Amino acid sequence: MEAAHLQVKRRFILMDLLKTVFGIDVSSRKSNVCIMVNGQKVDDYAISNDMVGFNQLLDDLKQFTKPQIIFEATGVYSRRLQAFLDMHELRYVMMNPLEAKRKTKDDLHQNKTDKLDALYLAKLQSEHPQRLAYVQSKEYQELMANNRIYEQASHDLITNRNRLHKAIQLTFPEIEHLMVNPRGKNYWSIVLRFPHPDIVLETKEADIIDFLKGLSGIGKKRANDIMQSLIRLAKVACPAVKKDSAHIRGLEMAINNILSAEEACQTALKEMTKLAPKRDLEILTSIPGIGENTALRIISELGDIRRFNNPSQLNAFVGVDPQVYESGNLTAHLSISKRGTAIGRKVLYLAINQIQSAKKAGNPSHIADYYEKRKRSSETASHKKAAIASIHKLLRTIFALIKNDQLYSYDVAKHNQRLLS
């Protein structure tokens, strides 16, 4: 009995010494799994991306002590696997696809199949262990999800505004001169109701005024003024199509999409405002040029900044750290790694533009000073290169302010810069 117990104990010790890696290539309907033990492939198979397949994977994971799991972040397809692993409190490495491709390129140039991709991921983790993914709290996950909705809705907004502008050139181009700023819910509602000059001229003045008074912030006098302008524009209009043209339906579709996208943007921002840590929001908006919307989006993309040990880790997370190429005695610093999310970099790039605009409006910051210095240092320096360098400075600033629980001060920042120089 004692000998059997020692044998079982010895087997568990041996299992502890084994380095087991599960490489998983996730696609839309199935995932390919490759199991490596001490660098040798012992099994590979495919699972369905549902509870049946994930439980099969879980059963296999339980056969090993501290198995390592690695897969690529393939957008919506990998999210279900990620959620399942989080639910069972299993840690994993989630690779940026660009980084995974770069790190496995010596093998990938030969062949590419889902089974091989799983093998290459397992091999990568076996030979060059990657850092485990940080699991954000549910609040930060929801923040990011809302920011992604905001990003998509903003994109849809721009797309449909362009479609609307093109459609109006055919149906009633003069209506773009009805208001000083031809955008906003009232303007789009008017265009939706009167997409063609013939419709304006066929409608009674009293009915036009009643419609306009029903819009937000428009009283009787304002409604009368808009009605007169609308009729005047309709009388001189020369549309390219009839009022029953398919282009009218295209215009209506674009406006409905615009209204829907605007509502989605506002809802996402409201949800982010509820979820974002109030102190972090206060700190970020203390930086000249960063408004509440931009601050919300930065927090949504960066998550809890306190989890980083230094600004370099934050730079790497965003993907603005330099990509290093080493071969023999040659070490070259190439372009930025782009390991993080493109949306995160886009928001920070937008923030740099806003910080520059704030300085021009009389609200300086050491980040704007640094941007101008980078631009002056080289006649060939592009805005993009100077902006990326300034993102480094911005991230360092955000890291220091949040870690030290301080609001931004231009005088303090300048003093610290002098100490460092």
2-135 homologous superfamily: Ribonuclease H-like superfamily/Ribonuclease H (3.30.420.10)
**CATH 3.30.420.10 residue window(s) in the chain:** 2-135
d(CA 71, CA 60): 16
**CATH 1.10.287.4070 residue window(s) in the chain:** 141-274
Q: Which segment of 23-37, 85-99, 162-176, 237-251 scores lowest on mean pLDDT?
A: 85-99
d(CA 381, CA 300): 31
Note whether 413 and 401 are within 8 A (CB): no
Report whether pLDDT(380) > 60.
no
Q: How far is C-alpha 203 from the chain's CA centre?
A: 46
Report whether pLDDT(237) > 90.
yes
Q: What is the pLDDT of residues 139-155, one digit of tens each?
A: 999 999 999 999 999 99
Q: Which CATH number fits domain 141-274: 1.10.275.10, 3.40.350.10, 1.10.287.4070, 1.10.533.10?
A: 1.10.287.4070
Q: What is the pLDDT of residues 197-215, one digit of tens each?
A: 999 999 999 999 999 999 9
**pLDDT band, very low/low/confident/very high, at 97 (cuts 50, 70, 90):** confident
Find the helix or strand (DSSP H, E) in which 271 lies: helix 246-275
Q: What is the pLDDT of residue 17?
A: 59
d(CA 245, CA 238): 15
Q: Enter the pTM of the model.
A: 0.78
Sheet of 40-48: strand order equals: 40-48, 30-37, 20-26, 68-72, 93-95
